[in-house]
A = this chain, B = another copy of it.
Amino acid sequence: MIRASNPTPVGYFRQRIGFLFCLMLSTALAFSIQAQTLTSPDKNLSLQFTLQEGGVPTYQLTYKNKPVIRTSRLGLESADVPHFMEGFTLANTEQTTVDEQWEPIWGEQKSIRNHYNELLVTLRQEAQQGRQIRIRFRLFNDGLGFRYEFPRQEQLHYFIVKEEHTEFNLAGDHKIFWIPGDYDTNEYAYQTSQLSQIPGLMEKATHEVHAQHPIKGVPAVQTPSMMKSADGLYINIHEAALINYPAMQLEVDAKNFNMKSHLVPDAVGNKGYLQTNAQTPWRTIVVSDKATDILASRLILNLNEPTAYEDVSWIKPVKYMGVWWEFFVAGKSTWAYSTETNVTLEDDFSQFTPSGRHGATVENVKKYLDFAAEHGFDAVLVEGWNVGWEDWFGKWKENVFDFVTPYPDFDVQELKTYAESKGVKIMMHHETSGSATNYERRLHPAFQFMKDNGYTSVKTGYVGKIIPRGEHHDGQWMVNHYIHVARTAAEYGIMINSHEAVRPTGLHRTFPNWLAQESARGTEFESMGGLAPDHTTILPFTRLMGGPMDYTPGIFQLDLSHYGTGSNQRVNTTLVKQLAYYVTMYSPLQMAADMPENYSRFMDAFQFIKEVAIDWDDTWVLEAEPGDYVTIARKAKGKNEWYVGGITDENARQAQIPFNYLPAGKTYVATIYADGKDASWQKNEQSYTIRQVLVTSKSRLKQQLAAGGGVAISIREASREEMKKLRKL
Residues of A within 8 A of B (CB): 152, 157-158, 160, 266-268, 270, 273, 275-276, 341-342, 344, 391, 395-398, 437, 440-441, 443-445, 468-471, 477, 480, 484
Measured between beta carbons, the chain B residues less than 8 angstroms from A440 are 437, 440-441
Measured between beta carbons, the chain B residues less than 8 angstroms from A480 are 398
The listed residue (B268, B342, B441) touching A275 by CB distance below 8 A is B342
Q: Are B441 and A395 in contact, with the CB atoms below 8 A?
A: no
Q: Are A158 and B397 in contact, with the CB atoms below 8 A?
A: yes
Measured between beta carbons, the chain B residues less than 8 angstroms from A342 are 152, 157-158, 275-276
Measured between beta carbons, the chain B residues less than 8 angstroms from A266 are 469-470
Give the docked Cα–Cα distance between A335 and B480 (Å): 28
A-B contact pairs, 16 of them (CB 8 A): A157-B341, A157-B391, A266-B469, A267-B268, A268-B470, A275-B344, A276-B342, A398-B480, A437-B468, A437-B477, A441-B443, A444-B445, A468-B468, A468-B470, A469-B470, A470-B470
Measured between beta carbons, the chain B residues less than 8 angstroms from A273 are 396-398
| Copies of the protein in its oligomer | 2
Measured between beta carbons, the chain B residues less than 8 angstroms from A391 are 157-158
Cβ-closest chain B residue relative to A448? B444
Cβ-closest chain B residue relative to A273? B396
Give the docked Cα–Cα distance between A477 and B341 (Å): 24
Cβ-closest chain B residue relative to A394? B158
Give the docked Cα–Cα distance between A468 and B273 (Å): 13
Instruction: Give 6 nearest A-B pairs by CB, closest first.
Output: A468-B468, A267-B470, A267-B267, A444-B444, A157-B342, A268-B470
Give the docked Cα–Cα distance between A441 and B344 (Å): 23
Distance of A349 from chain B, by nearest CB (Å): 15
Distance of A404 from chain B, by nearest CB (Å): 14
Distance of A346 from chain B, by nearest CB (Å): 10
Distance of A445 from chain B, by nearest CB (Å): 8
Q: Are B268 and A469 in contact, with the CB atoms below 8 A?
A: yes
Supply 8 further A-B pairs (C-beta < 8 A) apart from A152-B342, A437-B477. A157-B342, A158-B397, A268-B470, A273-B397, A275-B342, A275-B344, A275-B397, A468-B468
Cβ-closest chain B residue relative to A395? B158
Give the docked Cα–Cα distance between A152 and B390 (Å): 15
Distance of A468 from chain B, by nearest CB (Å): 3
Measured between beta carbons, the chain B residues less than 8 angstroms from A437 are 437, 440, 468, 477
Distance of A338 from chain B, by nearest CB (Å): 14
Distance of A535 from chain B, by nearest CB (Å): 34
Distance of A108 from chain B, by nearest CB (Å): 32
Q: Are B468 and A477 in contact, with the CB atoms below 8 A?
A: yes
Give the docked Cα–Cα distance between A544 and B79 (Å): 40
Distance of A283 from chain B, by nearest CB (Å): 24
Cβ-closest chain B residue relative to A159? B395
Cβ-closest chain B residue relative to A484? B441
Give the docked Cα–Cα distance between A152 and B273 (Å): 42
Distance of A278 from chain B, by nearest CB (Å): 10
Cβ-closest chain B residue relative to A436? B437
Distance of A272 from chain B, by nearest CB (Å): 11
Give the docked Cα–Cα distance between A18 and B124 (Å): 80
Measured between beta carbons, the chain B residues less than 8 angstroms from A471 are 267, 468
Which of A341, A344, A470, A471 has most B Cβ within 10 Å? A470
Give the docked Cα–Cα distance between A395 and B268 (Å): 15
Which of A341, A445, A469, A484 has most B Cβ within 10 Å? A469
Give the docked Cα–Cα distance between A471 and B266 (Å): 12
Cβ-closest chain B residue relative to A480? B398
Cβ-closest chain B residue relative to A341? B157
Q: A342-B276, A440-B441 are in contact. Are A469 and B270 (CB under 8 A)?
A: yes
Cβ-closest chain B residue relative to A80? B396
Give the docked Cα–Cα distance between A526 and B273 (Å): 34
Distance of A155 from chain B, by nearest CB (Å): 11
Distance of A76 from chain B, by nearest CB (Å): 18
Measured between beta carbons, the chain B residues less than 8 angstroms from A470 are 266-268, 468-470
Give the docked Cα–Cα distance between A437 and B476 (Å): 13
Give the docked Cα–Cα distance between A662 and B26 (Å): 87
Give the docked Cα–Cα distance between A395 and B344 (Å): 37
Measured between beta carbons, the chain B residues less than 8 angstroms from A275 are 342, 344, 395, 397
Q: Are A267 and B484 in contact, with the CB atoms below 8 A?
A: no
Distance of A619 from chain B, by nearest CB (Å): 35
